[in-house]
Amino acid sequence: MAQVSHGNSPLLVAQGSRPAESRTKFESGQLPHDALKENQTETEFYYHIRRYATSVMMTAAYGQRIPSYHSNDFHKVYQIMDDLNVAAQPLGFILRVV
């Protein structure tokens, strides 16, 4: 049964997940560094968590990491998510047009 459900998908075997593991480890090491070095106002920790999660997903999906929460790509991702949130609400698409 496992052979049938997994088939030959390279992402569902240990060898296929190794590149993602190394990227995740790198991002996990970058997170405490950023939180300690770039947290002057002591309120930026939240942005570092968002950057970490976004970077892991972007690296897995597109092979491109997000190096900083000041990055244009970081802000574009969250703008798209905000737009989708508005569009998903009842009549949300009309609110954007008006």
DSSP code of residue 91: T
Q: Determine, yes or no, domain membership for 8.
A: no
Residue 96 near residue 87 (C-beta atoms within 8 A):
yes
**For each of the chain's 98 residues, which pLDDT tens digit applies?**
444 455 555 555 555 556 667 777 888 888 888 888 887 777 778 888 898 999 998 888 888 889 888 899 999 999 999 988 887 888 766 666 65
Residue 87 near residue 93 (C-beta atoms within 8 A):
yes
Q: Determine, yes or no, domain membership for 53.
A: yes
Q: Determine, yes or no, domain membership for 7.
A: no
The total domain count for the chain is 1
Give pTM, 2 decimals. 0.65
Residue 2 near residue 9 (C-beta atoms within 8 A):
no
Domain ranges, residue 26: 20-97
Q: Determine, yes or no, domain membership for 69.
A: yes
